[in-house]
């Protein structure tokens, strides 16, 4: 059954055609928010996602294919969202990419791309969303950082640097908005069971002759003591809470949902 806690609000979720972003978009739609999807993918599949959101939750949805490494396309997306629905009330910065390599061998172009998409895009969407949020004295900015915004791992220099930057930007945004009805917080997931990660689980199960469940636990347990993946649905539920009145004084938090990863 659809709830209506976010009825009349518009949520823009970057990188939301699959995985974490789609899980959060669904959770917000379930609460009555209109949805602006963003991301790459097959046009027919994206249309089907939009239709599913409308059918399941009775909300309007649209899609903009902005490349989150390009400030001009980000600006066009924000203008598009305002034209479609009047304003962006909830901004979820989720788009991200990854590349692993030691620092001395890390390709410069990969570093630049990761910083642009994982960090700089969050600045660009935020700076464009804030004026309207301040004028309405209500807004929610939720930055999907990572456990790697709190701790490091080898061969992930660009990703860790970007995600630490997202956490820092979250804190500054929250402080600048402290006397308004606009909040900004970061969610820091550990391992998440996205379709891409499920493929890794399937490959490990086939390679090692394990059940899918055992392969999953072997993959995740090195870092995540629970031995269980975080799900997009769980992250969506946390995003819904951060949009609620109960979270009015949750400001500048870096909220880890990581199965105990950072508790070690």
* The residue count for the chain: 264
Question: Considering 57, 85, 111, 159, which one is annotated as catalytic?
Answer: 159
d(CA 56, CA 46): 15
Q: Closest Cα partner for 232 from 171, 144, 105?
A: 144
Tokens of 105: 């061998």
Report the b/e string of 166-186 with b at 16+ CB within 10 A: bbebbbebbeebeeeebbbbb
pLDDT per residue as tens digits for the range 153-188: 999 999 999 999 999 999 999 999 999 999 999 999
Tokens 């991200």, residue? 96
Judge whether residue 205 has pLDDT over 80. yes
Q: What is the pLDDT of residue 1?
A: 45
Q: Closest Cα partner for 223 from 253, 254, 263?
A: 263
Model confidence at 263, in pLDDT bands (50, 70, 90)? very high
Q: Which H or E element spans position 30?
A: helix 19-30
Q: What is the pLDDT of residue 203?
A: 86
Average pLDDT over residues 183-194: 95
Q: What is the pLDDT of residue 197?
A: 81
Q: Do 239 and 144 meet the contact criterion of CB atoms below 8 Å apart?
A: no
pLDDT per residue as tens digits for the range 39-66: 999 999 999 999 999 999 999 999 999 9
Q: What share of the chain has pLDDT > 70, as a percent?
A: 99
CB proximity list for 126: less than 8 A, separation 6 or greater: 91, 93, 141, 169, 173, 184
Model confidence at 194, in pLDDT bands (50, 70, 90)? confident
pLDDT per residue as tens digits for the range 80-132: 999 999 999 999 999 999 999 999 999 999 999 999 999 999 999 999 999 99
Clarify whether 159 is annotated catalytic: yes
Judge whether residue 201 has pLDDT over 90. no
Q: Do 31 and 243 meet the contact criterion of CB atoms below 8 Å apart?
A: yes
User: Taking all residues of the chain, what is their mean pLDDT, rounded to a whole number?
Assistant: 96
Report the b/e string of 25-49 with b at 16+ CB within 10 A: bbbbbbbbbbbbbbbeeeeeebeeb
CA distances from 197 to 45, 181, 219 (A): 20, 37, 10
Q: Running DSSP on this structure, what letter comes out for residue 156?
A: B
Tokens of 2: 């659809």
Q: Closest Cα partner for 254 from 159, 118, 147?
A: 147
Q: What is the pLDDT of residue 175?
A: 99
Phi and psi at 131, nearest 5°, equal -55, -45
pLDDT per residue as tens digits for the range 252-262: 999 999 999 99
Q: Write down the pTM of the prediction.
A: 0.94
d(CA 147, CA 47): 32
d(CA 240, CA 72): 29
Model confidence at 2, in pLDDT bands (50, 70, 90)? low
- From the centroid of its chain, how far is CA 172? 19
């Amino acid at each position: 059954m659809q709830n209506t806690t976010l009825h009349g609000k518009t949520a823009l979720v970057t990188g939301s055609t699959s995985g974490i972003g789609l899980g959060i978009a669904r959770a917000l739609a379930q609460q009555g928010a209109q949805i602006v999807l963003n991301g790459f993918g097959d046009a027919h599949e994206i249309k089907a996602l939009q239709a599913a959101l409308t059918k399941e939750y009775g909300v309007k949805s649209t899609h903009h294919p902005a490349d989150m490494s390009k400030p001009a396309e980000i600006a066009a997306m924000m203008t598009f969202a305002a034209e479609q629905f009047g304003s962006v009330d909830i901004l979820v910065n989720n788009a991200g990419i990854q590349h692993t390599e030691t620092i001395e061998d890390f390709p410069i172009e990969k570093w630049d791309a990761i910083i642009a998409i994982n960090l700089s895009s969050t600045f660009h969407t935020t700076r464009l969303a804030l004026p309207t949020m301040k004028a309405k004295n209500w807004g929610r900015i939720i930055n999907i950082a990572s456990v790697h915004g709190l701790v490091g791992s080898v061969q992930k220099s660009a990703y860790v640097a970007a995600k630490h930057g997202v956490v820092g930007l979250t804190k500054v945004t929250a402080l600048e908005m402290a006397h308004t009805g606009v909040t900004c917080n970061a969610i820091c997931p550990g391992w998440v069971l996205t379709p891409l990660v499920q493929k890794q689980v399937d490959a490990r199960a086939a390679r090692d002759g394990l059940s899918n469940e055992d392969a999953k636990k072997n993959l995740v347990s090195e870092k995540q003591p629970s031995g269980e993946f975080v799900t997009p649905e769980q992250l969506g539920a946390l995003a819904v809470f951060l949009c609620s009145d109960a979270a009015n004084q949750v400001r500048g938090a870096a909220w880890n949902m990581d199965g105990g990863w950072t508790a070690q």
